[in-house]
Amino acid sequence: MSPTLQTQQTARARLLAEMERLFADDAGLGVLVPYNGRPDMTEEVKEVQLAWARALVSVHGYDRAASVYTEYAGRRQRTVTQSIGSWDNLVLTGRPIPRWDRDIHGFLCFSCVDTFSTVIAADDDPLCNRCAREHSPVETTRPQWRAYSHRQFTFPGLMGEERKTGETLLIARYEDGEERKYVTGEAGLLTEGTSSLPGFTMVSNQTHGDSRDTISLTFEARAEHRRRSVEILATFAYDPEREGYDGHAYGFRFVSARLTTRSRKLGHLDTADPAVTEHTDLYRLLDTLITHLYGSQK
């Protein structure tokens, strides 16, 4: 097995492991109606979980995040054995999806392919509420496992050439006039338009390196939520190799970052001494960011 392939598999494995941690206690198993998602969760816990879901999408892109999420959700679906009980438990609503959005991730109803699925039939076909009433006996129809932040991952995939253009791109213009496009990849965390961080501000970015095929990119950015802020100096290195069946390069991979976090007490303009941390692991970086920005501020 080549070192590159090992790295690529580890990226998906780490993402899957993070989902297992994030949803370990069946967070958000409100499976019958959309507004029934985990009433026992505090608003703070919900906010943190949603922040994690948005962060995972921003660093992996919708396609990869959706692909890994469906693998994880499929495992959890096999643990749902109870039926929906009654058709009255289902709300006949759904979000229409254009038919040209081919559903390679399996989020849409197997029957109409027009709305997101909400239940599972006895033969394991995912159905929307309306199609389930028409094609599935109520006593064998099970609710579909969904995390509280499920909707963050519901991204019907595009097939063929369209998938190659489904990733966001960064454009670098060099002094000799050459212009190159690079898949954003994990740098999406600190890129305007894709960053999930609250109160995000791009301060500067700079490319560097000996090869334009494998350039590095350094970001200086800031994020702020309520009375907390963080200054970020992070470096990403470009990986031009494809992962699995992706029709595009992996994109920028996280290398290292320095975070400077500050908290402001209510009624005071001055901040306490900032905390500075160094990171070489993407998920430890996310944990520090999300804990600081969204954690308890009592």
Give me the helices (H) in 100-202, please.
Answer: 129-135, 161-164
| Three-state secondary structure call for residue 169 | strand
Q: Pull the structure tokens for residue 192.
A: 């305007």
Nearest to 14 by CA among 48, 64, 49: 64
User: Which tens digit of pLDDT belongs to each residue from 22-75?
Assistant: 888 765 555 444 444 566 778 888 899 899 999 999 999 888 899 899 999 999
Share of the chain above pLDDT 90, in %: 46
Alpha helices in 161-281 (DSSP H): 161-164
- Mean pLDDT computed over 89-112: 73
Q: What is the 3-state secondary structure (H, E, C) of 86-99?
A: CHHHCCCCCCCCCC
The pLDDT of residue 198 is 96
pLDDT at 8: 45
**Lowest mean pLDDT, pick from 9-13, 228-232, 269-273:** 269-273
Answer whether residue 4 shows pLDDT above 50. no
Backbone angles phi, psi at 262, to 5 degrees: -135, 150
- What is the model's pLDDT at position 166? 66
Tell me the β-bridge partners of 127.
Answer: 119
pLDDT tens-digit series, residues 273-289: 789 999 999 999 999 99
Highest mean pLDDT among 109-113, 168-172, 256-260: 256-260
pLDDT, mean of residues 107-113: 89
The answer, yes or no, to whether residue 91 has pLDDT greater than 70, is no
How large is the average pLDDT for residues 82-106?
Answer: 71
**What contacts 267, CB < 8 A, 6 or more positions away?**
none
Q: How many Å apart are CA 298 and CA 296, to the nearest integer?
A: 6
pLDDT computed for residue 284 by the predictor:
95
**Per-residue pLDDT band at 99 (split at 50, 70, 90):** low
Residue 16's pLDDT band, with cuts at 50, 70 and 90, is very high
> How much is the average pLDDT of 185-202?
94
Report pLDDT for 100: 53
pLDDT, tens digit, 9 for 90 and up, residues 123-158: 999 999 999 999 999 999 998 888 888 889 888 877
Average pLDDT over residues 219-224: 96
